[in-house]
Amino acid sequence: MKQYNPTTPSRRQMTTVDYSRLSRVSPFKPLLKKIKDSAGRNSSGRITVRHQGGGNKRVYRLVDFKQDKFDIPARVETLEYDPYRSAFIALIVYKDGERRYIIAPQEIKVGDVIIASLEAPFKSGNRTVLRRIPVGFQVYNIEIQKGRGGQLARSAGSYAQVLAHEDGYTHLKLSSGEIRKVLWDGWASIGQVSNSEHNLVNIGKAGRNRALGIRPTVRGSAMNPRDHPYGGGEGRAVRGTRRPKTKWGKITGGHKTRKKKKWSNVLIIKRRS
C-alpha cells in the first residue's frame, strides 16, 4: 500500500495500491472498446440505480475469460491497470503472435510463460481442467459450465480452494466460505487473483469517489417523512419503525432474497457463514 504525507486533511488517511509493478505503457488498442455510460438511468432517462453518475472517462478492455487457445505457450508482455475491475490484467502474446488480455495472478511477472493445457504444470497462471488439480491448491477464473469461460473468483485477491474430487464434481471452498460442487470438466487457472490489497484502500476524500462515478448517498434519517420511512422527527430521531426498510418500504434486515427453488441449490454443500 502507498501512504501519503498529511499535507492536507484528506491526505492524512488516504491510501492507494502501489502500482509500481505495473508496466508504464498505453493499453493495446485492438482490445479496447468504448462503453456508453448510462449513469444509472433507463431508456426513458429515469434514475433506476441511485448514486451513479459523473466519473473519469474509461475504456473497456476485452478480457479473455475462456483462454481457449490450448497447448500454445504465451508470454506475459505487460501488466496493466483496468478501470472496469479491481484486479490487474496482463497482456499475453501467444507463440503464433496473437495478443489477449487475461486476469493477472498474484505472483506473475513480465516475461513469464503460461499455458492452457490438459497437461499444464501446476504453476501460478497456468490453466487446466479441475479434475487434474490436486487437493489444497488455489484456483481462480473458474468455469461453472464447460466452455462458457470463467465466472467464479475473478475479483482482486479472490481464489477458491480445491477440497475434493467426487462423482464428476470438484468441491471448492470459495472466498465467502461457501463450499460448492462444480463440474470437474470445467477449466480453472491456478493461483490467486492479483491486487490482494484492494480491500485495504482508504478513499480519503469525497472527490475520489466522484472520480469513480459514485455520487453522494443521503441518510434516510435526514429526509422528510414522505421521502423515507426513517424521515422526520425533531432533531436526531430514532428509526421509528420496527424492522429496517429501504426507501420504498421493503424489509432488509434478515429478509432472505435467494429463490427457494434456485437451480444451483443442489450444488451447494455448505452455505456461506
Cell 478492455 locates to: 61
Considering its fold, how many domains does the chain have in total? Answer: 2
The enclosing domain of 159 has a CATH number of 2.40.50.140
Q: What pLDDT, on a 0 to 100 scale, did the predictor assign at position 255?
A: 86
Q: Are residues 187 and 245 in the same domain?
A: no
**Which among 143, 167, 153, 118 is positioned nearest to 66, based on CA atoms?**
143
Amino acid at 241: T
Sign of CA dihedral 220, 224, 227, 228: positive
Q: How far is CA 79 from CA 104, 182, 221, in A?
A: 7, 30, 45
**Which among 137, 170, 199 is the end of a domain?**
199
Q: Are residues 137 and 239 in the same domain?
A: no
Sign of CA dihedral 97, 102, 105, 107: positive
138 domain residue, yes or no: yes
Cell 452455505 locates to: 271
- Splitting the chain (273 residues) into consecutive groups of 10 residues, what average pLDDT does each group show? 92 93 94 93 95 95 95 95 96 94 94 94 94 94 93 95 94 95 95 94 94 95 94 92 92 88 93 87
Q: Are residues 133 and 268 in the same domain?
A: no
Amino acid at 176: S
62 Cβ neighbours under 8 A, 6+ residues apart: 31, 32, 33, 101
